[in-house]
Amino acid sequence: MPACQNTSCCAAQQAGPAPLPAPMPASGPDRRELTLHIAQMCCPVEERLLRQALGALPGVEALCFNLLQRELRVTHALADPGPILDTIRALQMVPTVAGAPVSAAPAPSRAPFIKLLLGLAAAIAAEAWAWTSGDDNALPVILLAITAIALTGPGVYRRGWAALRHRDLNINALMSIAVTGAVLIGHWPEAAMVMVLFALAELIEAGALERARKAIGGLMALTPERVTVRGLDGAWRECAAADVMVGALARVAPGERVALDGDVTSGESAVNQAPITGESMPVPKGVGDRVFAGSINETGSFTYRVSAAHGDSTLARIVRTVHEAQGRRAPTQRFIDRFAAVYTPSVFGAALLVALLPPLLMGGAWSDWIYKALVLLVIACPCALVISTPVTVVSGLARAARAGILVKGGVFLEQGARLRRLALDKTGTVTQGRPALTDVVPLHGDAHRALRLAAALAARSDHPVSTAVSRHWHASRPGTPPEVDGFTALPGRGTRGRVDGAVVHLGNARLLAELGYGDSAAAHTMARLEGEGKTAVALCEGPHVLAVIGVADTLRASSAQAVARLHRLGVRTLMLSGDNATATAAIARQVGIDDARGALLPEEKLAAVDAELARHGLVGMVGDGINDAPALARASIGFAMGAAGSDAAIETADVALQGDDLGKLPEFIVLSRATVAILRQNIAAALLVKAVFLVLATGGWATLWMAVFADVGASLLVIFNGLRLLRANLGERGA
């Protein structure tokens, strides 16, 4: 049965605090998807038990687990999912089908908490009676111990028996054996205390894991459920966001959250869109600008036309991407799972040998050596080790999402820590991706008249250079440019037209050569501007070159600072661009990029990434997620810039950077290094605790309740250490 790779999932039908990906389309007529929520599935030991049981069912093709969200997706060819649900119930777990109608949930019951308190009181009383009387087998001690075990242990025994029937040694099976063994050798007070402490540990651990789950679910809670929409009669009414159709007009008052993605149709405001892009400052919004669900309208009121349904908003896609990323196991997690599969049965076998060999071969006391074996059984549980990785990884994924960085899986979060070489596209990545007029150098007459004539020709052309000239004229000069008669586009050279009765040309050096202009000043000026990485065009009227105009794709404000920070992190940079080599080198110099290669076709960018991979082993590529798709796909980690609102960018890249901030690249690397550092800390701490107690147990210095405390303490330690990623100040190095 193949493992789920979780490579792509369709959009959720309706977003919620913990959205479930909708079933993927079946690949065959009999193939179906079943998504289940299983409250009792929170640890890889439960996953292994479910995998063994469901994997043996005929018709089950693949299983995809998300432990932190307690979800299981089953790909099967069964006409009725009943056997799947019955198998899960037989393991003492309760499956709930995603999307199934449910009745109103009853108020939370206090009965389990009351049973735990009563069981704890009975266990303490048993310990106290045994200590004061000196008799662990006194009738009151036995009755109190039985009471404590009866109050807190039935669920453990049921789950433990189900695991043993499937030949799986999970924590419930180990605890059931340990408590039963302690009872059989007469350690009643300790058996009761071990069961109560384990029940208490489960309660504390469940609360800690809930924090990790809420780190993801809390993102979607940012979206309001109600929105004010204009009806067909023109009246404004409040309705559920989930009922609003694409194309409807919605209104947002100051201080309200935007409920749906859309484009502003009237009004102006400053919008805090930190939940989407991670930007710290509010962003001005006016007519034509995009707004995102979950962002906060801070000042004015505006109306916008809805561009995406409630479940398809950018925020919903962000949550869905992070949610799905949890199903992709990081390399460390895969290693830990393999280690735990060997470690647990090995320690169980060692415990059997400790219980049997000394009494049989050396005449040791059976009760003493069985007790030591029971301590080893408790230590055999690998929960602290196996839970440390998913908690840490999901905390890192959630922290990245809050900063506007979407990471498609734990594997990329870990790889980022080892990234030492990064290739960047120029246009739209290091630069704005929108040419702007930078220079007007008058050679004959004044600059204002030259710009006026150039704007007249530019208004009739859609070439990027003409667009930049026209945009500059409208931004700096009120009114429209003069009319043009006989306008002609000269492909690859420029434009021509009659303005104010005179023939005017606007074009490149090739056009000047064709027209016979030998103006050395114009040629020198054009060469100088091109050497600065700009596109130069000349404006000609009659026998004169009136002016040379420079147009350039301007740098992003964050580019130089981001590259400098990458260098401080030990990451060398390389620019790969389809622009001419001179312009590419000039931009690279301005930003501080180590190396630059221009005039590259997409396949040549791909070849360059291949060459870097051969030399350095791990290479990142930053692009727009569409034009650079081959290079992004080939790189070890593909980064898509400006992914807010872009399905293509999110689908193409391994890491999608929301907004247009190149500074998110060093943020990602710092977070990756912090994640890997915490993973190592957790693994070291869990293994150290196990090693210490293995020595103490074999030496006879550890007790059952001490082993439970150590196991619980180690689990809580690694969980809370992993959760540090959600709030910790990571610093420059991410340590």
Active site residues: 425
Whether residue 124 contacts residue 150, with contact meaning beta carbons closer than 8 Å, is answered with no
CA–CA gap between residue 540 and residue 518 (Å, rounded): 12
Place of tokens 């150098």: 441
Report the length, in residues, of the chain: 735
Q: Which helix (H) or strand (E) holds 374?
A: helix 366-379
Q: What are phi and psi of 62, to 5 degrees?
A: -155, 150
> What is the CB neighbour count within 10 angstroms for residue 437?
24
Whether residue 226 contacts residue 211, with contact meaning beta carbons closer than 8 Å, is answered with no
The answer for residues whose C-beta is within 8 angstroms of residue 108's C-beta and 6 or more apart is none
Whether residue 314 contacts residue 261, with contact meaning beta carbons closer than 8 Å, is answered with yes
Could you tell me the CA-to-CA distances from 666 to 547, 561, 570, 676, 730 in Å, in that order? Answer: 42, 10, 10, 15, 12
Query: Side-chain half-sphere of 634: how many Cα atoms within 13 Å?
Result: 18
Could you tell me the CA-to-CA distances from 486 to 190, 457, 460, 538 in Å, in that order? Answer: 100, 11, 11, 19
> What is the CB neighbour count within 10 angstroms for residue 568?
11
- Enter the DSSP assignment of 429: I
Whether residue 551 contacts residue 534, with contact meaning beta carbons closer than 8 Å, is answered with yes
Closest Cα partner for 726 from 399, 418, 446? 399
Kindly tell me the sign of the dihedral angle through the C-alpha atoms of 348, 352, 353, 358: positive
CA–CA gap between residue 45 and residue 166 (Å, rounded): 12
C-alpha angle with apex 531: 530 to 532, nearest 5 degrees? 85
Place of tokens 């796909």: 633
